[in-house]
Structure 1
Amino acid sequence: MANFRALQPARMDEEASPPLPQSRPLLIQKPKRTVTLGACVACRKRKSKCDGNRPICTCCTQKDTGCVYELGPNEKPSQAMKRKNEEMQGELSNLRQLYDSLRLQPEQEAMEILRRIRADPLDTPSSQRIQELADFARHGGTIMQQPSHTPPSPQQNYLGNLVTLPSIRLALEAQYDQSSDILPFPGISSMGSEGPSTRRPRYATDVDVSARSDSLSSRPRPASIEAILHSPSSSHAHCISDTRLASATDWTAVTSNTDLLVAILTSWTTHEYSYYHYLDREALLDDMASGRTDFCSELLLNALLATACSTCPEVHDRGTPFSEFSIMTAFFKEATRLWDLEPDDRSLTRIQAGICLYLFLGKHGRDKAGHVFLAEACRIGQDLGLFGSESPHATQKHSSIPMNKWSHMRAVTAWTLFNFQLNMSFTYCFPVILKTPPPVAIPYQDTPDLEALFRSECTKYTIILDCVNATPSYTEHFDQEKSQPDPGIVEICYQRLTSWWHSRPSILDPEQVPSQQNLLCAMMYHVNIVNLFQPFLALKIPCIAYFDRVRSVTSTALFNLRRLLALQESRNGWSNTITLILHPLVIASFGSLDEISQAPSDAESSEQYQGLLVCLRALAALCSYNYYAQPLFRLLTQKCVALNLSIPGEVQDALDYYTSEEWTKSAKSLVSSQYIADMRKDAERKRMDAVIEAWDGLSIKKGTGRVNDEKL
């Protein structure tokens, strides 16, 4: 029988239970280890458990070793990786800035940069030292101070320290590695990376208006790290601001944020007013500060702020058109409300407001809609006698204004309007509205240095108007059936333009004073030359006897355009430019593509291709703060792909976003433009409206680099 223990009945509850046999003591559960976001460097190397105590962890304290953290307090590894990536990109951009400065700067400045590099202090971190050297190379080591009541002009910035630059041709003919010129364009833009903000329709304290009203808010917008490289510091912007700017809060109901308004108007002075000069800034600010309405109005200031927002880096989402919660859109809506409020108003400020509203809509690809404001401004100018024989006494608003000041303001407004509408006529290809120049003398004769650029542009547009009247094909080049240019008349116009160019004062020379304004004016001069000879290139049956001459002149103009764009990139960058530079960029790009298509062999080693890369980088950077740059960027890159030209990978990333179905659908609903980018063929079909309408079937096959629809 098995030797098992006999089973016993269970004890009753009331029975006392005997003491249990001694068992193993219960284990005391240790507290869970505190989770640390990142270990210190020493613990990672030892593979020890780090408790994350700062400034010295427990393990390093016991082992008496140095404790260094690569992560910041409460910083996640992903955040640290993003921060390191941004630091590396910034350092790379600074090194490229130093390289370009050593390559392009005059010998004396290059030697000074080299001396500073060799005099590297041992107690300064290398990244900080590189940043200091790049800032010195970029700004020349000094920040010019501006008088409080004088607008900062590019000429004044350079008067104190004029330099003699080497020839642009020599500087850009220097061969260098292509990769050194290609700046990265990360797929995630600095704009919109902060995430959506709380939606509220007030702008009293909003500087960062990052909320978006459209579906594009969920998509990262490609942007250029080059924009970070050349972005001006806010301290520099405010140091040149005018004390009268703070009174802008009294003229707009959109926001009471004085710092934001001052920043916007200061940036506008540098990046828009200094080129267009569509009003007298001194008169505007005097009336704005004193509360007078002779040369300032709520309509004018809100319209001015609407277009000025695109020039100010402190206003976010500048590249998102008509966002419901954007402060830029709020200024525009307030300006149009005031415009409709007094439809019968005939004043100088309404003319200037019309120019501002046209500029605003043009930046958003809606120049067709903006044409109403420009045409109305021209009609008011004619009604006020700015282009006729009406006496200024008949339109004087207040007898308290001195007659010489009133006459001066009328002259400034008349010449401003005349220059602007003629400029826009050639940019957007519509008939000239004002066909006679103002009957008064060009203003600012008593301050030749202060307004030299404005007076020079007035002279140029007078010559261009004569060319328009003598050569109808100059403005009808988009209608090839009617255009029959006369070579003799075109040559006369060409000689007049070149004579004007060579007679300009040295302070406007882009090689001696490479300011944004001087460089853009030089670019527009060469664009005017291309426009003058373009009708001959567009003829279905070219004039053989004159064709070689036309090719020679236009090729030289395109070459000079590419040189100036490269100089703009190295000296000023693309982070905050005068937005009209889009037009020279497009002319240079498609002109270069035309030249490459005629000699496709070994195209990527040509000077035209290198200039094309500059244009691609520029457009990719402008996309972050100018909406109209986006469809132009897509059109250009697709042309490059169609010609089997390789484009940088970072530019391809941006193209992937701008060829998405979501972006294309939005562009079709937004863009209403007469602009013609490619004027080589059927120009009417090449207006941007028609181009974007044909984008439905366009896509780029991945891996092939080819466009599956040839109708570009």
Structure 2
Amino acid sequence: MSDDVNNHRSDRPLLPAATRGSAGGHSGRGSGPRPHVNILPKKRQAVSIACDTCRSRKIKVRGKAKSKFISLHCDGQQTCFSCRKNHIVCTYQTLRASPSTQELQRKYTESENKVKNFEAFIRLLRSHKEMEAMEICKRVRSGVDVETVLSLVRDGDLLAQMHLHPEAQFQYTFPYIRHMPAFLCQPDNVYLNSPLYRSTRTKQQPDTTDKTTSHDPGTQYFIPHHAAEPIDPRFDSVKLSEWTAVTRDNAFLTHLLKIYFQFDFPCFPVFHHDYFLQDLIAGCEECCSSLLVNAILAAACHGYRNAENRAEFWDPSTMGYRFLSECRRLWELELGNSSLTTIHAATILAVTYNVNGLDKVGWTYMMQAIAAAESIDLFGDVKNSDSQKLKVVRTFTAWMLFDFQAISCFHLFRPPVVRHAPRTILPDPATHAKWYGELWLSYPTDQRLLPMWHGYTLKATAELGVIFNDMAWQAFAEGRKGLSLTEQAHFQERLNTCMHYLSALIYILDPLSSSAGESSQDQTLSAATVLALAKIKLETLVRLYYVHHGFDSPDFFMMQFLMFLGFMHIRSLATSPTDELSDAYRSTIYLVTKGLRAQGQNYYLAEVLYRMMRDAMSSSDQKYLGTILNVSVDDDGRKSLISQHTRSAYPIDIFSINEDPEKQRLSNLIKGTVDTT
């Protein structure tokens, strides 16, 4: 036992390791000399990436180089320690081809994401409607990758914005000057007190909590019109492929039909949409025909955003060209036919050719539609022997054709073709809403269906057409030289407050405001005051339209107002106004030019007007416009197309109903430009 104890005591004592910087001695028992202890270096931090130089020299890679004795170690960072010390350029190009751990991890992550995207794509096809699923598959078949399609469906534009949910208060911003110009903020400008203007200043979102009983119209004031979707249960039952030989894709054709009813039809509703849809589904040809369907589809192609060159009506590869070609073929078969559907189709074709910059061709279709209407006494009294359906359709068609020719003749500075309005009076939409039918829109974030007030719009447009017809007759009939003072005052009283009224008011008051003839000084001052206020109101409406809806969606009526304001302010700049007014005028010029260029994506006429207006601007304004639109001023590549494809009698840069329009007709101006060049 004692021997064991003695043996333990004779063992060498275990002492703690010496620390760096110890002065001498050691802790523990005894006072012997400090033993020599080798301090092992810390295990290096592994780095999987080395620069090209270190790879070629086979230098070990470490995370950080702290010791002066490891100058041959690469720290795997740019620039690495070894290259810095030896003054060598440090590059990592070989990493791209190296099968490093990070590279393998990246490839694995990409593969995993692809699998997840394909799984999400399958779920997408299962969860969406058949028509939407077909559109999604069509995108993939056209070459769009799955990830992009998923992004479009979730966040962007697919199948007419495909249930797009924009922010509730999305608004467009003005170029150059972000706010409403001061000269528009006049006490007499009633539009600044309207919900349209107030909604641009408030931050409160529309209340749509009670979707069934609420009648708050706030949604329409906060969400752009193009974000809405036309809703009609009959859209799901139509088979348009049975009415056209251009394509058998019913989903695509139905999409075009929705575009037409949302953007084109409200401007010129040339047929009764309820009876048209009924006969379209039933296969009846009383209110529907192949010619009419193809004319509708040709017009709708202007608003099909997936086609980038949709405005190039001369391009055989576009769907618009194909539908128009089919219309021309069917039109030849319809020669001599005075049916209602032929009149409808001819009117739509006239509108289509007008927005293509071929209103000389469009005029011939309008004349044929009027000739067919007169041959069946469409503008006369309805016959008691006709069915109720036929009475409604005839009256509807008569008024819409009359209204179209009245507005067309007025803006072309020509006397009306139809002298008097139809004899049958349109009913009051307040008490006969079913007579007109209704168009409904579905807005994102709102479960309600909101009406477009089709009956009220049609009734007001028809009444305005009567005034336009009378003005055109008094001003442009043979032997007439404009409107007299009495006639100008008479038409001013008849006109109602709407955007089209304002442009017409400027036409009739401009000669009076600058006249020194039969008008007295008080009358001249009064006319000048009304004229100035009309210009202010018109520009206010155009600006409010832009703030709420932008200019990208198809709207062929808007071209008239944009052209009008642009040339008006180009003239105003020539009068050397104050700096504040000059900036305000320029902001409007840039805005409307931007709008014409945007509409030029839909209608070729808008592109022609854009180029004519841009050429009328000063060189400095042209350069600044190029920065706003991100285009080159010297893009003459499409200028040669203007003279080749434009056949238009439309007068531009003219503001008085008493002016001679011949020199200002579009084709004459283009011819003069070409001759000068």
Q: Which interval holds the TM-score relative to the shorter structure?
A: 0.5 to 0.7
Deviation of residue 322 (structure 1)? 1.5
User: Which residue number corresponds to residue 274 of structure 1?
Assistant: 266
Deviation of residue 672 (structure 1)? 0.5
Q: 1:633 aligns with which of 610, 617, 628?
A: 610
Contact 1:368-1:672 at 8 Å conserved across structures: yes
User: Which residue number corresponds to residue 410 of structure 1?
Assistant: 394
Deviation of residue 539 (structure 1)? 7.2
User: Mapping of 1:3-152 within 5 angstroms?
Assistant: 48-49=92-93, 51=95, 58=100, 60=102, 97=170, 106=198, 110-112=202-204
* Distance verdict in 2 for CA 1:343–1:240, change over 3 Å: closer
1:572 aligns with 2:549: yes
User: Which residue number corresponds to residue 172 of structure 1?
Assistant: none
* Distance verdict in 2 for CA 1:244–1:67, change over 3 Å: closer
User: Which residue number corresponds to residue 328 of structure 1?
Assistant: 320
CA distance in 2, matches of 1:261, 1:111: 39
User: Which residue number corresponds to residue 666 of structure 1?
Assistant: 641
Which string of whole-angstrom CA distances, capped at 9 and with x for unpartnered residues, describes residues 634-691 of structure 1? 1111222179687433357546365x1x422221111000101111565311110011
User: Which residue number corresponds to residue 217 of structure 2?
Assistant: 161
User: Mapping of 1:518-529 within 5 angstroms?
Assistant: 522-529=498-505
1:493 aligns with 2:491: yes
User: Which residue number corresponds to residue 459 of structure 1?
Assistant: 463
Which string of whole-angstrom CA distances, capped at 9 and with x for unpartnered residues, describes residues 131-174 of structure 1? xxxxxxxxx6989999xxxxxxxxx9x955347979xxxxxxxx
User: Which residue number corresponds to residue 119 of structure 1?
Assistant: none
Task: Give the residue type in structure 2 aligned to 1:619.
Answer: L
Deviation of residue 291 (structure 1)? 0.3
Task: Give the residue type in structure 2 aligned to 1:616.
Answer: T
Contact 2:382-2:391 at 8 Å conserved across structures: no
* Distance verdict in 2 for CA 1:264–1:99, change over 3 Å: closer
Task: Give the residue type in structure 2 aligned to 1:459.
Answer: E
3-state SS of the aligned residue for 1:338? helix
More divergent stretch after superposition (581-590 vs 288-297) = 581-590
1:447 aligns with 2:433: yes
Task: Give the residue type in structure 1 aligned to 2:466.
Answer: T
3-state SS of the aligned residue for 2:535? helix
Q: 1:381 aligns with which of 364, 368, 373?
A: 373
Q: 1:342 aligns with which of 313, 334, 344?
A: 334
CA distance in 2, matches of 1:288, 1:366: 30
Deviation of residue 94 (structure 1)? 9.2
CA distance in 1, matches of 2:408, 2:78: 63
CA distance in 1, matches of 2:456, 2:258: 21
User: Which residue number corresponds to residue 669 of structure 2?
Assistant: 691
Q: 1:678 aligns with which of 630, 653, 657?
A: 653
3-state SS of the aligned residue for 2:604? coil
* Distance verdict in 2 for CA 1:354–1:109, change over 3 Å: same
Contact 1:246-1:261 at 8 Å conserved across structures: no
* Distance verdict in 2 for CA 1:561–1:323, change over 3 Å: same
User: Which residue number corresponds to residue 120 of structure 1?
Assistant: none
Deviation of residue 538 (structure 1)? 8.6
Aligned residues: 504
User: Mapping of 1:590-669 within 5 angstroms?
Assistant: 590-602=567-579, 605-641=582-618, 647-650=624-627, 654=631, 656=633, 660=636, 662-669=637-644
Deviation of residue 251 (structure 1)? 0.5
1:548 aligns with 2:486: no
Deviation of residue 363 (structure 1)? 1.3
User: Which residue number corresponds to residue 437 of structure 1?
Assistant: 421
User: Which residue number corresponds to residue 278 of structure 2?
Assistant: 286
CA distance in 2, matches of 1:44, 1:271: 58
CA distance in 2, matches of 1:143, 1:622: 36
Contact 2:302-2:554 at 8 Å conserved across structures: no
Deviation of residue 420 (structure 1)? 1.0
- Structure with max Cα Rg: 2
Deviation of residue 97 (structure 1)? 4.9
1:530 aligns with 2:574: no
Contact 1:43-1:60 at 8 Å conserved across structures: no
RMSD of aligned alpha carbons = 4.5
Contact 2:506-2:531 at 8 Å conserved across structures: yes
Task: Give the residue type in structure 2 aligned to 1:614.
Answer: L
Residue identity (%): 18
Contact 1:640-1:646 at 8 Å conserved across structures: no
Contact 2:626-2:632 at 8 Å conserved across structures: no
Deviation of residue 60 (structure 1)? 3.8
User: Which residue number corresponds to residue 305 of structure 1?
Assistant: 297
User: Mapping of 1:207-222 within 5 angstroms?
Assistant: none
